[in-house]
Amino acid sequence: MATRKNSTDDPLAPVTLAVGQEDLLLDRAVQQVVAAARAADADTDVRDLTPDQLQPGTLAELTSPSLFAERKVVIVRNAQDLSADTVKDVKAYLGATVEEITLVLLHAGGAKGKGLLDAARKAGAREVACPKTTKPAERLSFVRAEFRTHGRSATPEACQALVDSIGSDLRELASAVSQLIADVEGTIDEAVVGRYYTGRAEASSFTVADRAVEGRAAEALEALRWSLSTGVPPVLITSALAQGVRAIGKLSSARGGRPADLARELGMPPWKIDRVRQQMRGWTPDGVAVALRAVAAADAGVKGGGDDPEYALEKAVVVVARAARAGR
């Protein structure tokens, strides 16, 4: 989720700097500023500009004092792509901001355009972090935060099921949360998510992995074929398989204890400890090793090392499911 990185919490600060590459969070940072400006003045003039629209001199024209003292929001997208002359204009403005005008700079972060980024920070801009969510845990945190923001409760299993079902697109995750809280009263649990997104869940890479590590080969293969037919990238499936097998290996070699203690030791949420404990019945250390080798081979196959990615995945799923039943 977007997080502020300085002490000010005022969306009407003279300059807001939104840094990152997550489009939803960048848009929300902009929407927050615009909403605050229009709450203060319904006639606020909003100018939303791309680098090619912000030519040298344009910013000075947009921010020149008005006889009518109108409130204005000037949004500059992809600020890292501004020309050198326009960057000079922006830096000059940062040193002499105009009352009633809010400048919003959207910057991808990184080395490109770092001079402008540093200048905005030095000038005391309000900063909103909008990092790309690349890890499942980050998407899970996003979903939990969405429910909290709306003042609603959802079980950990429901949040995980939603991430497993929807995937990595934050816009779709946010939309799914909005739909659930609009349609469902009380606490949202895993069963509710299943009813709403059963088709998506069946196409989830994590569903393939769960059925495979549980030794349910036929169901895993069915989920795999559904996933591939609905466009789930094969690399996500091998990643989910690897995560599932590694979790079993980590838990089987860990000391016994309460889920909370094991969660801290292994870096898993407590609810996942309980799920993996159920899945690991029948697994042996040799089975884990065999399964990991099969998944690694499939991963290489889907990344160009084989002629038939679908066959590579099917083979891995069968080996994992067989390994899950080896100790039974």
82-103 tens-digit pLDDT:
999 999 999 999 999 998 999 9
The predicted model scores a pTM of 0.60
Mean pLDDT of the chain: 86
Of 122-131, 195-204, 214-223, 281-290, the range with the highest mean pLDDT is 122-131
Is residue 1's pLDDT more than 50?
no
Task: Report whether 189 contacts 156 (CB < 8 A).
Answer: no
Angle between helices 84-94 and 114-122 (to 10 degrees): 10
Question: Looking at per-residue confidence, does 77 or 272 come out higher?
Answer: 77
Q: Identify the residue whose tokens are 């899970």.
A: 140
Of 144-158, 163-177, 314-328, the range with the highest mean pLDDT is 144-158
Biggest CA–CA distance in the chain, Å, is: 82
> Strand 3-4 to strand 126-130: parallel, antiparallel, or no bridges (unpaired)?
antiparallel
% of the chain exceeding 90 in pLDDT: 52
Helix, strand or coil for residue 82? Answer: coil
d(CA 229, CA 202): 11
Task: Report whether 14 contacts 103 (CB < 8 A).
Answer: yes
Q: Which two tokens stand for residue 233?
A: 């990238």
Q: Identify the residue whose tokens are 């000038």.
A: 123
Is residue 273's pLDDT more than 80?
no
- What are the angstrom distances between the C-alpha of 116 and each of 91, 97, 131, 174? 7, 15, 18, 31
- What are the angstrom distances between the C-alpha of 50 and each of 38, 54, 59, 105, 112? 22, 7, 12, 11, 16
What are the tens digits of pLDDT across the range 221-256? 988 888 887 677 888 899 889 988 988 888 887 656
pLDDT for the residue 2: 47
- Residues forming beta bridges with residue 101, ordered by sequence position: 72
pLDDT for the residue 169: 80
Listed residue (316, 166, 144, 150) closest to 241, CA to CA = 316
Q: How confident is the model at residue 200 (pLDDT cuts 50, 70, 90)?
A: low
At 129, phi and psi to the nearest 5?
-85, 130
Angle between helices 170-183 and 190-202 (to 10 degrees): 140
For 108-128, the DSSP string reads: --SSTTHHHHHHHHHTT-EEE
Is residue 201's pLDDT more than 50?
no
What are the tens digits of pLDDT across the range 10-44? 999 999 999 999 989 999 999 999 999 999 999 99
Is residue 265's pLDDT more than 90?
no
